Chains A and B, each alone.
Chain A
Amino acid sequence: MAFDVTLEMENTTATITLNGALDASTAPKFKEEIEKVPTGKVKTLVLMMEDLEYMASAGLRVLIYTKQKMGAHTDIYVVKPQEMVLETLVKTGFDQSVIVVDNPPKIEKV
């Protein structure tokens, strides 16, 4: 299954769109994009997951890394995860570390 990830930055919001299957072979790509997000400046990180069809342990690992890298002062939104992905987040308790929503939050004006 193919995987694609894009990063957009606007003001203090970073938006990452994930597409396809996030597994051991594709997780490094996701991590690369996360590395580009500057900590401190970014207050909101939005993960668009509507088209993410599968997430393995390696994907969860990058999410945990993301949470720890961004720190407590960055809100992480998970937008519209598919059922399998949401289930995985819930069963592993990671849903409590992020904000799961149906629509992305409004981007803050500077």
Chain B
Amino acid sequence: MDLRIDSHPTHTYGKFKLRTGRPFPFGATVVPGGVNFSIFSSHAKSCTLVLFEKHAKKPMAEIPFPDEFRIGNVFCMIVFDVDYENIEYGYRMEGPFNPQEGHWFDKSKILMDPYAKIIGGRDVWGVTPDWEDIYHHRARIAPDDFDWENDRLLEIPPEDLIVYEMHVRSFTRHASSKVKHPGTFAAIREKIPYLKELGVNAIELMPIYEFDEFENSRPNPNNPDELLVNYWGYSTVGFFAPKAGYAATGKLGMQVDELKALVKDLHKNGIEVILDVVFNHTAEGNEHGPTISFRGIDNRTYYMLTPEGYYFNFSGCGNTLNCNNPIVRNIVLDCLRYWASEYHIDGFRFDLASILGRDPWGAPLANPPLLETLAFDPILAKCKLIAEAWDAGGLYQVGSFPAYGRWAEWNGKYRDGIRKFLKGDAGRVGDMAQRLQGSPDLYAWEGRGPATSINFITAHDGFTLADLVSYNGKHNEANGENNNDGSNDNDSWNCGAEGWTDDPGINALRQRQMKNAVVMLMVSTGVPMILMGDEVGRSQNGNNNTYCHDNELNWLDWTLLEKNAELFRFFKHCIGFRNAHPVLRSKYHFSNRDYKNSGYADITWHGTQAWNADWSDSSRVLAFMLCGKHAKSGMVEDNYVYVAMNMHWETLWFEVPGLKDGMKWHVFANTGVASPLDICEPGKEGLLEDQSGLLVRDRSVVILVGK
């Protein structure tokens, strides 16, 4: 290609031709005739570009940035005629080494570009790295030529989402998955038909930014031949690069294409992609951690430091990213914009998001600039923004996260409230009514809609659903931390025996409790999220913190699909029911009024007697009816839906509210009866025998449809 006249070299260094670069965009960008390298450091005195041939042990060149190539605090340089497909690059930064002042410059270290779009060095999952390597996580230059055809973000209304939280490797690593490339992005593509059959319309991927599975790796105390690793990946090496080890093509450097192909295919099938992103800390840990990138480039800018120069640890992982420093704010914004525009990512779930609202000294801000910036950003305007609204430093903001009309929250209070009601705790009915309605007590006062509430009963942190009904306490011995890790507040109930049992009565009750849970989740207003494998009864043997296990404790065993076909069928139909009934997916909170003159308010509460809910402390019973004429704020007409929940230990008669206009009640689901009569295909409900009411078995839930 002919060079533009303003793209000719002006300098030389050895065999390399150079020109002053453009400060924006940061990172390495292919430009006519060469590559533009741009990196920021507010305290470095000088910077050297280090170039490697791909996989080479030693650099092929080290090119100091001439003084005139520094603009402000940005070192920028175009290097001509480099084979960008075949190189890896890093930087050496020279500056003060004085940890008390927050400076960790060390010219002997080669530093990874924080804006690296591909990172080599851990190309294939689990392959032991060369520990002597002078540059472990190697920045590479990514192409942006993917053929997206007409793909774009799906923009599914938030209240219509059903989210499936999953781990890329765990989903298909098990031999029973029968995929060609287990544990990869490509394998998820093979399993799209499964997700479609289940009925979910969004997947939330646990971290896929490049991380190092060998971080803090150690022998498994129960099996010395096996390593405990950084399996979940909540420890970012590079924010702009997909995890190479999650790509079947990682060893060929095509992880970008493979991930984009997955997103494109999911979109074709009506499934959104939400990324779990970790901006609260990095893989560099505390003073004793490795220097990979930020620490050596500009430690004092990127990290929150105590006055003595130590790392604040609001993340519980050694360091805390200084998110409300304007520079760090920009990198977070650049990163999310990149993933939204370059990878067509539909939404982001922010791990320990409350940290993003702290000032550089750790104090919570009333108006955190980063959260506001993300909320109003034009490129992210259609992306879902979801906060895990707490942090490891004690800040708990469920219901009060600074939202700017945009942020949704993982609703921890929903999880706790449902679990307590489910196991039959007394005094939970009033709270339950709030959770079922999308938690208006938490959100309506601020004008935030029900889709603010990401409703979940289980997530990667904590018990799986099968374990929630099988264990009273955590059993994390396999983690090698003397069972001290993981939450002690599980609100679980083992139904009569701790762990595995052959007692048919206990197993039947556990099965019923899992069905009760999914019913409650799918009839709740808000956005339901289910955990990978709960639909087939996946267990982690009572371990509620499996962050370090690359083994069957985490891997989804696909034979469960056959073994627990009854549960899968139940999940599938419950999800189908939610998808079929807009009355369950309201954009606005219920008004408790009849604004459609149907004769019924949009939501009404009942107990064993119709129109008379028992709100007393001893009550373990609640029923409600949604008026179909008020579906989607009265904009569409739907069936009526009645749900009776009996968490009492005795079977009870529930009187059901009468219907008008010749409508009759039909039975969609009854967890108190055996399969296949426990549920039916949505739309094929049989007539309720006695239209005045029905018996609801102990610890059972019934859904009726009025039509």
Task: Give the interface of A toward B (CB within 8 A).
Answer: 24-25, 27, 56-58, 60-61, 64-65, 67-68, 87-88, 90-94, 96-97
Contacts and interface: CB of A to CB of B under 8 A. Distances in A.
A24 B254 contact: no
Contact of A56 (B146, B180, B252): B252
B186 A24 contact: no
Interface of B: 83, 85-86, 143, 145-147, 149, 180-181, 184, 186, 189, 247-249, 252-254, 257-258, 260-262, 264-265
17 contacts: A57-B253, A58-B85, A58-B86, A64-B145, A64-B146, A64-B147, A68-B145, A88-B249, A88-B254, A91-B247, A91-B254, A91-B257, A91-B261, A92-B258, A93-B258, A93-B260, A93-B261
B145 A92 contact: no
* Most-contacted residue by chain A among B85, B184, B253, B258 (CB, 10 A): B85
A57 B85 contact: yes
Contact of A92 (B86, B180, B254): B254
B83 A92 contact: no
A92 B249 contact: yes
Would you call the interface of chain B mostly helix, strand, loop, or mixed?
loop
Given A24-B85, A57-B85, A57-B252, A94 B145 contact: no
A27 B701 CA distance: 63
A86 to B, nearest CB: 11
Given A91-B249, A91-B261, A57 B254 contact: yes
A57 B144 CA distance: 12
A56 B184 CA distance: 19
A91 B258 contact: yes
Nearest to A97: B147
B83 A24 contact: yes
* Most-contacted residue by chain A among B147, B184, B186, B249 (CB, 10 A): B147
A57 B143 contact: yes
Nearest to B84: A24
B261 A88 contact: no
B254 A60 contact: yes
B147 A67 contact: yes
A24 B145 contact: no
A92 B253 contact: no
A68 to B, nearest CB: 7
A89 to B, nearest CB: 10
Contacts of A60: 254, 257
A90 B258 CA distance: 9
A98 to B, nearest CB: 10
Nearest to B248: A91
B147 A61 contact: no
Nearest to B118: A57
A91 B253 CA distance: 12
Given A92-B257, A93-B257, A61 B143 contact: yes
A93 to B, nearest CB: 3
* Most-contacted residue by chain A among B184, B248, B252, B254 (CB, 10 A): B252
A27 B143 CA distance: 14
Contacts of B264: 93
B448 to A, nearest CB: 38
B252 A93 contact: no
A25 B67 CA distance: 34
Contacts of B186: 90-91
B90 to A, nearest CB: 20
Contacts of B249: 88, 91-92
A68 B258 contact: no
A93 B254 CA distance: 11
B141 to A, nearest CB: 11
Contacts of A27: 85
A55 to B, nearest CB: 8
Contacts of B265: 93
A24 B247 CA distance: 20
Contact of B261 (A25, A87, A92): A92
Nearest to B187: A91
A88 B253 CA distance: 11
Contact of A24 (B86, B147, B258, B262): B86
- In the A-B complex, the 5 residue pairs with the closest CB atoms: A93-B261, A92-B257, A24-B85, A91-B186, A58-B85
Nearest to B261: A93
Nearest to B83: A24
Nearest to B262: A93
A87 B187 CA distance: 12
Contacts of B189: 93
B226 to A, nearest CB: 28
A65 B147 CA distance: 9
Nearest to A55: B252
Given A91-B181, A93-B264, A65 B257 contact: no
* Most-contacted residue by chain B among A25, A64, A68, A90 (CB, 10 A): A90
A92 B291 CA distance: 33
A88 B86 contact: no
Contacts of B146: 64
Given A88-B254, A93-B265, 5 more contacts: A56-B253, A57-B254, A61-B145, A64-B143, A93-B257
A34 B570 CA distance: 54
Contacts of A64: 143, 145-147
Contacts of B252: 56-57, 88
A14 to B, nearest CB: 19
A64 B258 CA distance: 14
A56 B86 CA distance: 11
A34 to B, nearest CB: 14
Contacts of A56: 85, 252-253
Nearest to B142: A57
Contacts of B143: 57, 61, 64
A3 to B, nearest CB: 15
A97 B184 CA distance: 21
A78 B61 CA distance: 39
A56 B252 CA distance: 6
